[in-house]
Amino acid sequence: MTELVVLLDEQGQAVGTADKATVHHQDTPLHLAFSCYVFDGAGSVLVTQRAHTKVTWPGVWTNACCGHPGPGEPIEDAVRRRVRDELGIELQQLVLLLPGFRYRAEMLGVVEHEMCPVFAAVSTDSLRPDPAEVADAAWESWDGFRSGVLDGTRAISPWCRDQVAALPAEPWTAPAAAADGLPPAARRPGR
C-alpha cells in the first residue's frame, strides 16, 4: 500500500501529495509531519532508537514517535495511529505544544524538510514496538534527558535536539498551544 505525504508551500498550505517512499532524498520537498513525546505521567519520557533499516536516520535515538499525516487525515488522528503502529500503545492524553515547528536536516545525503507540529502525550500501556520501526526503546528521566540533549552529551536526532530546546520544562503538564499556529494543511476546517 502506498503511503502518501502532504506536500506544502512556504506558508504551510497543501500543494499536493507524494509517495513517502520517493520523497526523502537529497532534495526533499517541504512536507507535513509531526513529532510526539510520550510520558508516563511521572516525569519519564520514552526515547526510541530508529530501526537500522530506516531510510532516514537509521539507528539514531530520538523522541517516541514521528510520522506523516495522510491527505485529509486530522493530525491528532495521525499521531495516535503512528504511536499505535510503531509502539503498540494507546495515548490517554495528547496535547499540541509546538504547532509551528519546522526543520531541515541532512544525514548521508538524505534530507528531512518538514513542517512538524510537536505533541506531548501520556501513556501507561506496556510497549510492544514494531521492529521494522523501532530498534530499541527506553524510559528516561525527562530532566536528565533534557539536560543531556541541551548540553550536547546525549546523542539524539537533530529535530529532537531542536524540539527539546523549545519545549516547556515539564511538557506532560504544559497547557496546549493554540491550534491556529498549525500549518494551514494541518488545521481542521473551521480552525
Query: 31 labelled as ligand-binding?
Result: yes
Query: 170 labelled as ligand-binding?
Result: no
Query: 73 labelled as ligand-binding?
Result: no
Residue 155 is assigned to a structural domain of this protein: yes
Contact 131, 85 (CB under 8 A): no
In this structure, what DSSP letter does residue 142 have? H
User: Confidence class of residue 190 from pLDDT cuts 50, 70 and 90?
Assistant: low
Mean pLDDT to the nearest integer, 45-59: 94
User: Confidence class of residue 25 from pLDDT cuts 50, 70 and 90?
Assistant: confident
Q: Is 189's pLDDT higher than 90?
A: no
Percent over 70 (pLDDT), the chain = 98
Query: 24 labelled as ligand-binding?
Result: yes
What's the pLDDT at 188?
79
For 179, the grid coordinates are 491550534
Query: What is the per-residue pLDDT across 167-179, written as a single tens digit (0 to 9) for each?
Result: 999 999 999 999 9
- For residue 128, the domain's CATH number is 3.90.79.10
Contact 80, 95 (CB under 8 A): no
Residue-by-residue DSSP string for 60-123: -EESSEEE-PPTT--HHHHHHHHHHHHH----SEEEEEETT-EEEEEETTEEEEEE--EEEEE-
**CA distance linking residue 22 with residue 151, whole number of Å:** 35
Residue where the block lists cell 507535513 = 32
Query: 133 labelled as ligand-binding?
Result: no
For 185, the grid coordinates are 494543511
Contact 79, 158 (CB under 8 A): no
Q: What is the CB neighbour count within 10 angstroms for residue 19?
A: 10
Residue 190 is assigned to a structural domain of this protein: no
**CA distance linking residue 72 with residue 188, whole number of Å:** 9
Name the domain count of the chain.
Answer: 1
Active site residue 66: yes
Active site residue 114: yes
Annotated catalytic residue within 36, 65, 76, 114: 114
Residue 153 is assigned to a structural domain of this protein: yes
Domain housing 47: 4-168
Residue 184 is assigned to a structural domain of this protein: no
Residue 191 is assigned to a structural domain of this protein: no
Query: What is the per-residue pLDDT across 95-110, written as a single tens digit (0 to 9) for each?
Result: 999 999 999 999 888 8
Residue 177 is assigned to a structural domain of this protein: no
In this structure, what DSSP letter does residue 187 have? S
**CA distance linking residue 32 with residue 15, whole number of Å:** 11
For 2, the grid coordinates are 502506498
Query: 68 labelled as ligand-binding?
Result: yes
**CA distance linking residue 115 with residue 185, whole number of Å:** 10
- Which stretch of DSSP H or E encloses residue 162? helix 158-166
- Which stretch of DSSP H or E encloses residue 33? none
Residue 180 is assigned to a structural domain of this protein: no
Query: What is the per-residue pLDDT across 65-87, written as a single tens digit (0 to 9) for each?
Result: 999 999 999 999 999 999 999 99
Percent over 90 (pLDDT), the chain = 85
